Amino acid sequence: MKKVFLLLLTFCSVLTINAQYTDIINSKRPGFSESPYSIGTDVFQFETGLFYRDSDDDAYLAKTKSVGGELFFRYGKFFERLEMNAKIAYQNDDVNNLFGDKINNYGISELTIGAKYLIYQQEYTDKSKEIRSWKRRMAFDKKRLIPSVGIYAGLNTDFLGEDYKDDGMSYKAAILLQNDFSERLVLLTNLIADKISSDNEFYSHIITMTYAINEQWSFFIENQGNYRDTASPEFHFGTGAAYLYSKNLQFDASVRTNLFDDYTFVYGALGVAWRLDKHSDEIINKSSPRGQMMKKKRKKKFLFF
């Protein structure tokens, strides 16, 4: 499972005492949450996809169908724990209200730049060297309950299409948590404050459980909650899968929806993540779930041959 820390979903990274580089791509897609780990220095990564959304909002008496694309660019420089990134999204909305009006909105709907930094990396006990007690070797490491911690800070720019302009630039901040419960199972928790300093400020949480089935396939389930002062909380549920084609290329697909009577939507996305790897550090101590699986597999093969 060294190939993609799923999804998000694909989320785990490789580290030394202060390094996070993995020899396989570590993609944020297809989930919405983000790992506290960076992609490593001198790595350029492009994560892009197409999405479709069909929503029905009783509060605004409108039905909206949206199609669009997004690009998430990630770059590691200066420190292994630091990553700089930018996200841009373009979409086209067809809005139909109950009065018979039809409205078409289109343009850049999001342009955000930011950076994240790993401030605490949890280290786990290497039980592969425990040969005296099978029970101790198989026992759950309680340190896995304590997550690795990262922080994110970003700027929502106002370089948007006329139909999507807000009330100027605003800020975004997040706390990023990751628990590696096993070599296959990872939990991500994001606590986010968005549109800070604007009239549309809101808070959200994203909780994602990722499981690596094998070296190529992984899937996730995700819950997102948005909280605003002027509206009831919105809760979304999503799932999807990622396929690792090569160490630098991943494909993904996902769907999501909610369970409310006054507001419903269906969202689907297809995407790809590609990495240009210029990293020079060859030391790898901690890898993604897939990476650990592949490492064990190679070890076994080496012993036999």
Is the pTM here over 0.85, yes or no? no
Segments in the chain below pLDDT 50: 1-19, 282-287, 295-305
Nearest to 187 by CA among 40, 9, 13, 2: 9
For residue 230, count other CB atoms closer than 10 A to its CB: 7
Q: What pLDDT score was predicted for residue 293? A: 53
Q: Which domains does the chain have, with CATH numbers?
A: 43-304 (2.40.160.40)
CA atoms of 7 and 1, how far apart (whole Å): 12
Contact indicator for 263, 257 with CB cutoff of 8 Å: no
Q: What pLDDT score was predicted for residue 4? A: 36
Q: What pLDDT score was predicted for residue 183? A: 83
CA 38 remoteness from chain centre = 12
List of residues 6+ apart from 262 with CB closer than 8 A: 57, 58, 59
Assigned token pair, 248: 């630098």
Q: What pLDDT score was predicted for residue 247? A: 93
Q: What pLDDT score was predicted for residue 62? A: 76
**Which whole-number Å values give the CA distances from 192 to 172, 175, 236, 248, 259, in the listed order?**
7, 7, 15, 29, 22
